[in-house]
Amino acid sequence: MAEQANERRLALVTGAARGIGRAVALELAKNGFDVAVNYNRSAEAAEVLVKDIEALGVRARPFKADVSDRAQVEALFKEVREALGPVAVLVNNAGITRDTLLMRMKLEDWDAVLSANLTSAFNCTKEALRDMSKARWGRVISISSVVGLTGNAGQANYAASKAGIIGFTKSIAREYASRGITANAVAPGFIDTSMTGALKEEVRSAITAQIPVGCIGRPEDVARAVAFFALAENSYITGQVLAVDGGMTMC
């Protein structure tokens, strides 16, 4: 199937102001995509990122929204469409952790993580698919986690949300394949961001010892995998989960 160039297509990245989202936004910009930078609390970082993206020669704008909130997501997509046009690539990246053993986990810890990590993807994907269906072209890329594949003690809420992302992705892939829309997930292992930065040095060393390539990953490692799924030429890959984990899981 003939494919248009990636240039002038718009990518919306949720939680883009920092960490993996920031690296994803920059990598997509380097590949010629305009970028809608969603943030919730990190307004200043979002402004800085927009300038860094514009310096790469594409368009970018910051958009504030808590993506776990359906009404805010509807408003977000309205603003994005008015400012930059329809969304062609959606990256469901926003996420949080509230780690504790199940016996101590409160319902609010469960709800907060499921809302931020999984309901957010439902909210944004439903909106984005309206634009993508009209264009008969689209890419939905969601950030899962290796713990969504393996589980992890102390992360029942987080692992459930990330496993949910995988089932959600595969279902979207099946529903929308005939409309030129692919849906894929990237499952990072242990990546150096503020989400993992709070861990003590001995914990980091213990984790590193279990990574075959021998080091913790960088946000850019994840970003290149996301860009791979976003590219126009990769239209025959859908419903996949790509682990970016230095060989930690190999499953």
Query: CA-CA distance, 52 to 221, in Å (whole number)?
Result: 19
The number of residues making up the chain comes to: 251
Burial of 59 (0-12, 13-18, 19+ CB in 10 A): middle
Q: Is residue 95 a contact point for ligand NAP (CB under 6 A)?
A: yes
Q: Is residue 40 a contact point for ligand NAP (CB under 6 A)?
A: yes
Q: Is residue 190 a contact point for ligand NAP (CB under 6 A)?
A: yes
Number of residues this chain uses to bind ligand NAP (CB under 6 A) = 31
Q: Is residue 31 a contact point for ligand NAP (CB under 6 A)?
A: no
Which positions from 120 through 159 interact with ligand NAP, judged by CB under 6 A? 120, 143, 145
CB of 33 to ligand NAP, least distance (A): 18
Q: Give every strand in the sheet of 138-143, ordered side by side.
A: 60-64, 34-39, 10-13, 89-92, 138-143, 181-188, 241-244
18 vs 139 by CB, closer to ligand NAP: 18
Q: Give me the residues paired with residue 183 across strands.
A: 140
Query: CA-CA distance, 165 to 160, in Å (whole number)?
Result: 9
Among 6, 9, 12, 21, binds ligand NAP (CB under 6 A): 21
Catalytic residues: 158
Which residues here bind ligand NAP, judged by CB under 6 A? 14-15, 17-21, 38-42, 66-68, 93-96, 116-117, 120, 143, 145, 188, 190-191, 193-196
